[in-house]
Amino acid sequence: MLKNKTDILQGNEISEDVRQLAAAADDNGGSLEYRSLNRGMIQIVSFHLLPNEYAFEVSDAVEVLKHGGLTSVPRMPGFVKGILSVRGDMVPIFDLKMRLGIGSSKDNLGRILVTFFDDLKVGFIVDRLSGVREVPLSSIVPSNGTEDPAKSLFVEGVVSVNGRNVSILNLGRLIDISGV
């Protein structure tokens, strides 16, 4: 986690979002341990795919970059927009809207939220970051199969923040593209 935070702070193109994100993470330790030790809380980094709001766990996120400068890769599913060289790492960039099946993002607009899963970095194009918050684990309503099945595959659960519904995404499933 500490490593992630350093990454965030060293980002080449630090945006306001990241400063906010990093500051929030600094305020309360920003670690998984924190989550498990402290009153069953979980930290999420939430963002907009207009008109809805989604989130990853803070521990999934590495850094936020401006959208642009992608190199496209042939023979790839449509939601793979290309790769981006992030300090020497070739990071695949997914159009999160297309991945979720809710439309598509415009070129060179919005932000790229870089995530880390196992030893893989993947960037997701989002409209804009909304911030880091802490929510009680108990307040997360697990997604049930009754909604749109394609959507619920990627949604871990829904939590209400200031009256808005935020869907917490399952990163592992999002980046598993072996069947696509």
Residues 85-124 binding another protein (CB under 8 A) are 85, 88-92, 120-122
User: Quick check: 71 binds another protein (CB under 8 A)?
Assistant: yes
User: Quick check: 3 binds another protein (CB under 8 A)?
Assistant: yes
- Tell me whether residue 158 or residue 175 sits nearer to another protein (CB atom): 175
- Tell me whether residue 18 or residue 84 sits nearer to another protein (CB atom): 84
- Tell me whether residue 49 or residue 122 sits nearer to another protein (CB atom): 122
CB 89, min distance to another protein, A: 7
User: Quick check: 27 binds another protein (CB under 8 A)?
Assistant: no
Instruction: Please give the Cα distance from 135 to 159 (Å, whole number).
Output: 8
Task: Assess contact for 21 and 45: CB atoms under 8 A.
Answer: yes
Choice from 37, 73, 137, 150 touching another protein (CB under 8 A): 73
Q: What is the widest separation between alpha-carbon atoms in the chain?
A: 47
Residue 5 sits at the vertex; the CA angle it makes with 143 and 3, to the nearest 5 degrees, is 100
Single out the segment in contact with another protein by CB under 8 A; choices: 46-54, 84-92, 131-139, 140-148.
Answer: 84-92
Of the candidates 45, 51, 131, 126, the residue with the CA atom closest to the CA atom of residue 81: 126
Reported as type and span, the H/E element at residue 149 is: helix 149-154
User: Quick check: 69 binds another protein (CB under 8 A)?
Assistant: yes
- Tell me whether residue 62 or residue 122 sits nearer to another protein (CB atom): 122
Instruction: Please give the Cα distance from 98 to 80 (Å, whole number).
Output: 9
- Tell me whether residue 21 or residue 122 sits nearer to another protein (CB atom): 122
Residue 171 sits at the vertex; the CA angle it makes with 160 and 168, to the nearest 5 degrees, is 5
Task: Assess contact for 125 and 96: CB atoms under 8 A.
Answer: yes
User: Quick check: 169 binds another protein (CB under 8 A)?
Assistant: no
Reported as type and span, the H/E element at residue 142 is: strand 141-142
Q: Which residues of this chain interact with another protein, rule CB under 8 A? A: 1-3, 31, 69, 71-76, 80, 83-85, 88-92, 120-122, 175, 177
